[in-house]
Structures are given as structure tokens and as C-alpha cells.
């Protein structure tokens, strides 16, 4: 756990980068610091490993003041990943990764063996071990950067805009892998980004900064989208936060219908009997395509639906694992205006109309509000550093107990 | 051109070439040894560098013969006089490259090194100097080449070098000797330069093969030949 207690960083020219910051990063969680450039998020991060020393206040790592520790030793226990990777150009991939183990006195062979493990862990090919950084793509370099930070198995990982320099496709996959790694390793991660989407995607908690080194809201991503404390936060989170928030609602509660579903061997006449404006044709349990009822008239009544030209299903969503956002998206993109839900094997689970999706959203919303109310009730006796609290004004030193 | 002169004077030519080689390489090495600590200090404490650079420029402007003459009272008409003078000139060429080399180490790299728990000295020796090496060797190349060419001036105060062939050839009105001296000076410089390029290649396997020209080039223009 990392605790900031009334931490201020003021530069000699009077600029205040971080202003009386109170923040608690729970162990094993990913906390994302997000905000406009110059808001103090990177300064906050760099105070944790003492690359920047605070002017006032103190920072505790598992209860111990970090100033009481030797900086070099402290840093060897804290992984550090930066946007420009900072890989050593003159060392091979494996030697880059082995850096901290070698610094802490591991024998080189053992350090290299560990490096090999990490190369696989971050999804790189072992054949890259002997390459130099300039021979790798941006995404590969960033993976090496993450592997290097993890090499000595530090409990804490600091990441400063780790994925900002790579293209969006690579970025998305790196984010996915960070989430997957984190679900396995449970590091205490502090990640800085200017990208609110990234914050919401990878963070267990998000601290949204105001321009001059204070936190506007420290909350779960879902709460940040559902209930921004003020216009600044709402503006930063973005205009389509309502839709994005649906990412946090599972589609388990969504009721699926089979009204317009018919097999490929069913006849045109049977399809017309359903009265549905669109018919979903299913073959071997898998959705094949949508047929508009209007086009059925041109075919003899005994024609099997499999012979009638159909429009593509668009994209489907996995009923259960996927979110309501995916379901809504599938409905929007479907020619029939209905979302096609499938199971893990791609077999049809059912279809959902906009009305059914809306009902599921309302139900999830009500459940979310109940949870939030309970959390707020439980948190009231606590101080403002706890997630869920509104840190905007409470972050003043006077507010700390 | 009298070709038979060459085999007839083989041992003289070989001797002069060897002397010239020493007068070229030793000052450059001494220059490097002095430039390294000075450059490290100048790269770290920025205020230190401008005055040093000015001083270096002033020294570099001293005509080499004048510097020889100034050193004669202390060291006589010896190799030492020439080596000291050429060391000073080499230093002037190499020092800026040491500073530039260290400054060319990308900030994220030094920052990452610090953040991973490197101490200052360890970072300097295992990260910064290796990365500065291509630029430092670039300076060394210019230092060696200019020392080799300036060494012939040593002959004016009686220190053997290929300069002997120029002076003797001129006095006897015997162009062959001058041509041989010229060709050997250039060949010597070329061989030393290529050797340094080879050394750099071996020491920096991590560098992209299609290196940028500026990497190996010197920060200070080459001093004119004698």
C-alpha cells in the first residue's frame, strides 16, 4: 500500500506541481492517475520512487516513510515503466530485463534465466532474447520495458504513460495484457495516463486530477462515469460516458428472446406466419443471417429459408461474459435492430431488442445505486482518502484525521 | 619519381613511419585520458563547460610550432616536447566529443537507470560511457589523424618523423622523397582511422548498422595539415 499524506511539491520558481495531496493506493490494485498535462500526475508518480522529492508531507510505503530508505535500494523494489521505454540501447533484451536482478547481486546465469521467463510472460518470442532494442518494434520494446520492471518481482509497479507511444491497436493489446498480468500477479500498480479511456479500462480505481495538482475525484471507473462530482469531471470523462459506463454492466441479466428465430429448413410461409419484421436464420445452432419480412413475398411459400438471400448478422455479443455495452453495440449495428447473443461456442443464445437492453440497463443501474449507497454509508466514518469519497475539497490537509 | 630510392632507403622509411606513428597515437591516447575526467565533470556540472571550451579554443588557436618552441626550454629538443604539444591539441579535439557523447545519452535512459537503482558512478561506467563511446571514438579518430599530420612538424625541432622526408626532399630538390612522405603520412592516418572504426564496431555491436554520419564525426573541425 502506498499512502500520500498532505504531499506538496513546489518548485523553486513557485510552481506548485502537487498540492497537499492525500491519496491511498491499496495493495494489489491498479490505480490510474489521469488528468490534463501539467496537472501533477507524473510528479505524483515520481515521488514514489524518489526521482522527485516532496516539499511537504510524506509518502509511506507499507507504512514506512520512503525517506528513511536508501534511494537506490528503495528503487530496486519498485518497477518503473516509462513511455520512451528507457531501454538500454547497448544491452540485449535479456540483459535489459536482467538489470535489476544483476544490480541486486544475482548471478548472471540466474538473472538471464529469469529474463527468459519474463520474455514469455509478457508475450514475446524467446528468440528475441539476444536482440538489441533498436531491432524491436515499439510494442515489443514496451513489452521488454514491462518485463524489465517485473524482473525482480517488486511488489510495486510505477507506469508513466506506458502505452502512449504505440499505435492504437498495439496499445489496446498491451492494455489487455496488463489487465491479464495484473489478475495473476496482483502488484500495487500506479499508472499515469492522459487518456481517460485507458484509465477506465485498466484501473481498479481512478484519480482524476484538476490542472494544478489536486484530485477532483478518486473513484472506481464505473462510479466516475455514473456520478462525476462536478462539470469538470463530467467534461473530462467525456460526452458519451453513459454509453461507456455500460461496459461495467454484465449481460447476464439481459433477457433474450427467440421470437424471430427460425431454422434454415423452415419455410417462407412459416416465417411470414411469425409476423416478425425480420427473421433470424439459424443453421446448426449458429446464426446465419437476417431476412427482412418484406423480401419474403417474392419467394414461393414452401421455399426453405436457407435458400433466401439474407443480410449478415453484423456482430454478435457473448451472452453473459460480454457487457451491456457490447449488447447495445450489437443491436445498433444489426440490420434488424436486435442484438444477437451467442454462447462461447458461437451457438445462438437468443436475441435482444432495444427495449430488453434498456430494461437490463435500468435493473443494473438500480443495483449499482444500491451498492454505491452501501459503500458510501460504510465509508462515512473513514477519511477522505478512501476510494468512493469525493476528494475535491476533502484533500486539504486539515481534513485528514 | 625515382622508384629505386624507396627500396634503397627502406629502413629509414620504416623508422620514420614508426616514429610518426608513435607521435600520432600516443598524444591522442594521453589526450583521451585527460579528456575523460574533464569531460565527465563538464557534462555533469554545466557551468564548468563554457569556460573550459573557451580555454580549449584558445589553446587550439596557438600555432603548433609556437607551442613547440615554448616547450623547448623545459623539455629540450625531444619527443617529449612534441608529444606534450600534440597531447594538448588532441585534448582540444577529444574533450568536446566526450562532453557531447555523454550529453547524447537519451534522458529516458539515464532516468530509467536511476529509477532502477543505479548509483551515480555505476550508471556512469556501465550505462553512460558505453553509450557515449561512438562519439568519443569519433573525437579520438580526429585526434589521431591530426596528430599524425602535425607530427611531421616535429622534424623542425629535430624530432624524427615523416617530416624528415619533406625537409630533406625540399633541401635536395628531390621530389620523390616528398611524395613518399606525403603518401605515407596519408596512409598512416588512414590505417589508424580505419582501425579505430573497427574498434568501435567491435565495442558497439548494439549500434544500428546504418549509422548516422554525425555519430562518428568530430565536434571540432580538423586542424590543417603541416
Model confidence over A86-112: pLDDT tens digits?
999 999 999 999 999 999 999 999 999
**What digits encode the pLDDT tens for the residues A116-127?**
999 999 999 999
Q: Do the first three CATH levels of A2-249+387-395 and A261-358 match, i.e. the same topology? A: no
| Count of domains observed in chain B | 1
**Which of A349-358, B18-27, B149-158, B185-194 shows the lowest mean pLDDT across its residues?**
B149-158
Quote the DSSP letter at residue A267: B
Which conformational region is residue A161 in: left (phi greater than 0), alpha (psi within -120 to 50 degrees), or beta? left
- What's the whole-number average pLDDT of chain B? 88
A320 with A253: CB under 8 angstroms?
no
Domain around B164: 23-216
CA A83 and chain centroid, separation: 18
Residue B101 lies in a domain: yes
Please indicate whether residue B172 or residue A399 has the higher confidence score (pLDDT). B172
Tell me the shortest Cα–Cα distance from A389 to chain B, in angstroms: 32
- Which residue's C-alpha cell is 511488489? A155
Superfamily of domain A261-358: CBS-domain (3.10.580.10)
Q: What share of chain A is helix, strand, coil (3-state, %, to 5)?
A: 40, 25, 35
The CATH number linked to B176 is 1.10.3720.10
Best CA proximity match to A36, nearest among A174, A148, A199: A199
Residue B130, min C-alpha distance to chain A (Å):
7
Inside any domain, residue B121: yes
Q: Please report, for chain A, the start and end positions of each structural domain, with discontinuous segments joined by +.
A: 2-249+387-395, 261-358
Measured between CB atoms, does B120 come within 8 Å of chain A? no
Any B CB within 8 A of A84 CB: yes
pLDDT of residue B60 exceeding 90, the answer is no
Low-confidence ranges of chain A (pLDDT < 50): 379-401
Best A89, A115, A151, A154 residue to mutate vs chain B (most B CBs within 10 Å): A89
Least confident of A386-390, B8-12, B92-96, B161-165: A386-390
Q: Give the pLDDT of residue B213.
A: 47
Residue B44 lies in a domain: yes
Residue A300: its pLDDT value, please? 87
Mutate to test the interface with A, among B102, B113, B116, B126 (most CBs of A within 10 A): B116
- Give φ, ψ of B88 to 5 degrees: -60, -45
State residue A165's pLDDT score. Answer: 87
- Give Rg (Cα) of chain B: 20
Nearest Cβ partner for A72 among B111, B117, B208? B117
**The pLDDT value given to residue A366:** 84
Residue of chain B nearest A88, judged by CA positions? B109
Helix (H, G, I), strand (E, B) or coil at A123: coil
Nearest residue on chain B to A75, alpha-carbon basis = B117
- Tens digit of pLDDT for each residue in A186-242? 999 999 999 999 999 999 999 999 999 999 999 999 899 988 999 999 999 887 888
Closest CA to B68 of B57, B80, B81: B81
Give the per-residue pLDDT at B215.
45
Q: What is the pLDDT of residue B220?
A: 46
What is the C-alpha to C-alpha distance for residues A361 and A203, in angstroms, rounded to an integer? 22
Quick check: B139 pLDDT over 60? yes
pLDDT at B212 over 70: no
Which among A57, A143, A130 is positioned nearest to A395, based on CA atoms?
A57
Q: Do B206 and A90 touch (CB under 8 A)?
A: yes
The answer to whether the CB of A219 falls within 8 A of the CB of A388 is yes
Identity of the residue in A51, A89, A100 whose CB atom sits nearest the CB atom of B131:
A89
Angle between helices A168-185 and A138-150 (to 10 degrees): 20
Residues 162-201 of B with CB under 8 A from A: none
Coil, strand or helix at A142: helix
Which CATH class name applies to A2-249+387-395? alpha beta
* A96 contacts chain B (CB < 8 A): no
In a domain, B38, yes or no: yes
Q: Can you give the pLDDT at residue A400?
A: 34
**For residue A271, what pLDDT is reported?**
87
> CA of B197 to nearest chain A CA: how many angstroms apart?
17
Bridge partners (DSSP) listed for residue A262: A281
Q: Looking at the domain assignment, is residue B160 inside a domain?
A: yes
pLDDT of residue A296: 86
Amino acid at each position: 500500500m502506498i499512502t500520500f499524506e498532505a504531499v506538496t511539491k513546489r518548485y523553486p520558481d513557485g510552481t506548485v506541481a502537487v498540492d497537499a495531496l492525500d491519496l491511498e493506493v491499496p495493495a494489489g490494485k491498479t490505480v490510474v492517475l489521469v488528468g490534463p498535462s501539467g496537472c501533477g500526475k507524473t510528479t505524483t508518480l515520481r515521488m514514489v520512487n524518489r526521482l522527485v522529492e516532496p516539499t511537504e508531507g510524506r509518502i509511506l510505503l507499507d507504512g514506512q516513510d520512503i525517506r528513511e530508505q536508501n534511494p537506490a535500494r528503495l528503487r530496486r523494489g519498485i518497477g518503473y515503466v516509462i513511455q520512451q521505454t528507457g531501454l538500454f540501447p547497448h544491452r540485449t533484451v535479456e540483459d535489459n530485463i536482467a538489470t535489476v536482478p544483476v544490480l541486486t547481486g544475482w548471478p548472471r546465469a540466474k538473472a538471464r534465466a529469469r529474463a527468459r521467463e519474463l520474455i514469455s510472460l509478457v508475450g514475446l518470442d524467446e528468440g528475441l532474447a539476444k536482440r538489441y532494442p533498436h531491432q524491436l518494434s515499439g510494442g515489443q520494446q514496451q513489452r521488454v520495458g514491462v518485463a524489465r520492471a517485473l524482473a525482480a518481482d517488486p511488489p510495486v509497479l510505477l507506469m508513466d504513460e506506458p502505452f502512449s507511444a504505440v499505435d492504437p491497436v498495439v496499445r489496446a493489446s498491451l492494455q489487455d495484457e496488463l489487465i491479464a498480468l495484473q489478475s495473476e500477479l496482483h502488484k500495487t500498480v500506479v499508472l499515469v495516463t492522459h487518456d481517460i479511456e485507458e484509465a477506465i479500462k485498466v484501473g481498479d480505481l481512478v484519480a482524476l486530477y484538476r490542472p494544478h495538482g489536486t484530485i477532483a475525484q478518486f473513484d472506481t471507473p464505473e462510479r466516475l462515469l455514473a456520478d462525476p462530482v462536478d462539470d469538470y469531471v463530467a467534461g473530462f470523462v467525456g460526452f458519451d460516458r453513459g454509453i461507456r459506463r455500460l461496459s461495467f454492466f454484465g449481460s447476464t441479466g439481459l433477457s433474450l428472446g427467440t421470437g424471430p428465430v427460425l431454422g434454415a429448413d423452415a419455410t417462407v410461409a412459416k416465417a411470414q406466419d411469425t409476423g416478425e419484421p425480420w427473421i433470424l436464420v439459424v443453421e446448426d445452432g449458429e446464426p446465419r443471417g437476417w431476412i427482412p419480412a418484406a423480401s419474403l413475398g417474392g419467394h414461393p411459400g414452401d421455399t426453405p429459408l436457407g435458400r433466401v438471400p439474407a443480410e449478415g448478422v453484423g456482430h454478435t455479443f457473448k451472452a453473459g461474459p460480454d457487457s451491456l455495452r457490447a449488447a447495445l453495440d450489437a443491436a445498433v449495428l444489426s440490420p434488424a435492430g436486435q442484438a444477437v447473443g451467442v454462447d462461447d461456442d458461437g451457438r445462438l443464445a437468443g436475441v435482444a431488442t432495444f427495449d430488453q437492453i434498456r430494461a437490463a440497463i435500468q435493473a443494473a443501474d438500480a443495483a449499482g445505486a444500491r451498492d454505491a449507497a452501501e459503500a458510501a454509508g460504510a465509508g462515512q466514518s473513514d477519511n477522505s482518502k478512501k476510494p468512493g469519497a469525493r476528494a475535491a475539497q476533502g484533500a486539504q490537509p486539515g481534513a485528514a484525521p | 619519381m625515382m622508384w629505386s630510392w624507396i627500396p634503397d632507403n627502406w629502413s629509414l622509411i620504416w623508422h620514420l613511419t614508426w616514429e610518426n606513428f608513435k607521435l600520432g597515437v600516443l598524444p591522442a591516447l594521453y589526450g583521451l585520458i585527460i579528456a575523460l575526467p574533464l569531460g565527465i565533470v563538464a557534462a555533469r556540472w554545466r557551468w564548468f563547460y563554457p569556460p573550459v571550451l573557451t580555454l580549449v579554443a584558445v589553446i587550439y588557436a596557438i600555432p603548433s610550432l609556437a607551442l613547440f618552441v615554448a616547450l623547448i626550454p623545459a623539455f629540450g629538443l625531444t619527443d617529449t616536447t612534441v608529444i606534450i604539444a600534440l597531447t594538448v591539441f588532441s585534448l582540444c579535439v577529444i574533450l568536446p566529443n566526450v562532453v557531447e557523447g555523454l550529453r547524447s545519452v537519451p534522458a529516458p535512459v539515464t532516468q530509467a537507470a536511476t529509477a532502477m537503482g543505479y548509483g551515480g558512478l555505476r550508471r556512469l561506467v556501465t550505462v553512460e560511457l558505453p553509450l557515449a563511446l561512438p562519439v568519443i571514438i569519433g573525437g579520438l579518430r580526429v585526434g589521431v589523424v591530426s596528430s599524425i599530420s602535425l607530427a611531421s612538424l616535429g622534424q623542425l625541432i629535430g624530432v624524427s618523423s615523416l617530416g624528415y622526408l619533406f625537409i630533406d626532399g625540399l633541401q635536395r630538390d628531390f621530389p620523390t622523397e616528398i611524395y613518399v612522405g606525403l603518401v605515407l603520412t596519408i596512409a598512416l592516418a588512414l590505417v589508424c582511422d580505419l582501425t579505430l572504426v573497427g574498434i568501435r564496431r567491435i565495442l558497439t555491436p548494439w549500434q544500428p548498422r546504418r549509422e548516422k554520419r554525425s555519430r562518428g564525426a568530430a565536434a571540432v573541425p580538423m586542424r590543417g595539415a603541416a
